[in-house]
Structure 1
Amino acid sequence: MSRPRIVIVGAGFAGYRTARTLSRLSRGAAEIVLVSPNDYFLYVPLLPEVATGILEPRRISVSLTGTLPRVRLVLGTADEIDLAGRRIGLTDPEGNHRDLHYDRLVLAAGSVNKLLPVPGVTEHAHGFRGMPEALYLRDHITRQIELAGATEDPRERAERCTFVVVGAGYTGTEVAAHGKLFTDELARQNPALRDREPPRWLLLDVAPRVLPELAQHMSDTASRVLGRRGVEVSTGTSVEEAAKEGVHLTDGRFVPSRTLVWCVGVRPDPLVGDLGLPTEKGRLVVDPYLTVPGHPDVFACGDAAAVPDPNRPGQITPMTAQHADRQGVTVAHNVAAGFGQGAARPYKHRDLGFVVDLGGFQAAANPLGIPLSGPAAKAVTRGYHLLSMPGNRVRAGTDWLLDAVLPRQAVQLGLVRSDAVPLENTAPETPVLRRG
């Protein structure tokens, strides 16, 4: 008899963990297929360190074939899904189409940038969800500092040395914190900028404080570090209109700038709305066992799934990497249970706390509810990331060590052009599915 085929769509935190756990549980009893447009798992929490020259891109890009030896990788984007026929249609990187049949389907398609109806944002802002955006921002920041040092126009110099980040959540706060240190160092290396005002960074959010989704202690620590570093934090404020020469803010100010980084948040991948199945807050409804109601052969996890939160009755789990990773483990056990390997179990979790890297020796953390800041929080943050990464730990640690003793290299690689990462098309490191 042929082995049953399990198809996992998406290689983010949820999809990768599902594949890795299933490869261990199935013991060869099932064929595991992972569908992804890329051949790597991206460790998204460290993207700000790639964008600011601390880590090289491959340090946070973990090979799928190298770390999932019993999983078959299919490079491509799923553009058709037939639930009744248990089939998905794929388009590979070279534009070829094929069908892939499944016995069990795991949807772990993740999320995409949240766009707001702000004039000029899609034309002049860039998101921060994947490796292309991080590489582009790294080149863009370096280029702005170099062009600022080359111009004799004070107004142009001020525009190029001003960087605006919208969204003071986890990602935006880290981008601003790391970015300020990066541009300050680049300016010190540039003779024309060394004795001038340091580069200006603004962090905006409509919320009343930075890191509004995290504990007050972490918010206070981040605000204190950003303030000492010179980052201008404007809460209760956002962008009213974006233009090539700057941004108009909702408080009436106009900020001349050539850089607008969009970190407002994420929304579930549009696939969940296109499948014609029940959704909650845009996420696919699942039961406590992460099964799609009415489709016992289909599971969903991660940002695209509305997973009931066992610790908050009546609510769904937040869209975090911690939940996505654990949900992947639960899905793997429940899929394996369907083939006689163990028993199915509902999703449960215990909050381990959060970490926010603020650059230099600064961080904010609350491991197991214990509030930490400064070097102690930094050690916990680095340790957490090393433990959470499924590979490249030695390489990442080496980069951190070199960054502590050597200056960063101020060079543009020119790998990603601006028109290659438009905000409206920015997607995570997982495919976007469409029905029909």
Structure 2
Amino acid sequence: MKDTPLALLPLVVLLIGSSSGSPSRTCPPDNFDKVNVTPEDISRTSSFGFDLFKKIKDQVPGQNLFFSSYSIWSALAIAYFGAEGKTLDQLQKVLRLGEKDKGYKIQRELSAELGKNTAVELDEANRAYFADSLILKECFRSGEFYDIHQVDFSDPVRLAREINAFVNSTTRGLIQKIVEPSSFEGSRFFLVNAVYFKGTWQDPFPEVLTRPGDFFCSPGVACGEVQMMGHSSFFNHTNSTHLGAEVLELPYLDSSISMLLFLPWEGSVTVDEVVDRLNHTTLKKVVSELWETRIFIDLPRFKMEQTLIRELQRALKELGITELFSRKADLSAFTNSNDLMMKGLIHKAVVDVNENGTEAAAATSLFPQSIPLVISFDRPFVFLILDKTFNLPIFSGIYRSPPV
């Protein structure tokens, strides 16, 4: 049998340079439990994911795309807790976070809520590496609130080995290496976020219905052959006038997480236009319109790998995070040292979508006698791996063509 549908991603952020700032309290308050955070406060952070989706797809025009805005948000949230001044203002605005007390609780409650999805594997690990020569402020030095490691940056081979082992472990061996010893040249601060996801379809695809099929990159023009998975069952579906696309939900077993697939109206709407129309409001509207319908679907079995470095940094600058990447960066909440800034980012993602993954489930499928609706994803489409509790995209992607 093939592996279960899965997606994973680690994010690494490097920070070096010079900055200035003033001391401030960095730890959550003693009355942390009394800080008020509503579900809407948490779901509003999804706007960062949609804004970033638009910017990144413009950075890689015409290409397949897969990344985790949630992972990037989580990693930048660590920088947010260490930021002050204008650097903090920019991060607050772009990440949709308020004051640090509230932002900290939003992050913790979101992480805890996602952790309730025990039927799927959704593991997140945030870790910050500081040079052992830096004197960290107590909140960070204690490790009570953040996974902080002070290490010898003068031994880049050992540091690369340690970080790669951390990412390899978190991603179950699917991403074994993300940094080289040269990655740490001149660095005194390294930020890592890794997210791993693995889920089984609630209603698996019967492998006996998988067969070769053409994929059409433009109307009437086949650009490659894919293994097309077929399935007939009841699925949540809507034909969205807000997006100009058919929308189909494929839920994961016993979970608040689903894959949403968006098939643009052929000949009138492109995948780029669908992404441009996606936002916190339109997604909420689309999800509310989903209705269970008997459908036969065709979906390519696919695997995608993506590495984003300069494209991600440019996208974040366009969103308004500029100080973090300059010598004006103010990260003085971490340490009294005035020489921290963000050097760059490395973001690597892998997604593998296939029929099922469990032998027992593959043997139990229902085939309705009559199918009133047929949807074939044999042309470019958009997909999200979404937490429906907060309508939060964890992973986002565009499938434009079969990998060469």
Provide the TM-score with structure 2 as the length reference.
Answer: 0.24
Q: Which has the higher strand share?
A: 2
Q: With CA pairs under 8 Å and 6+ residues apart, which has the higher RCO, 1 or 2? A: 2
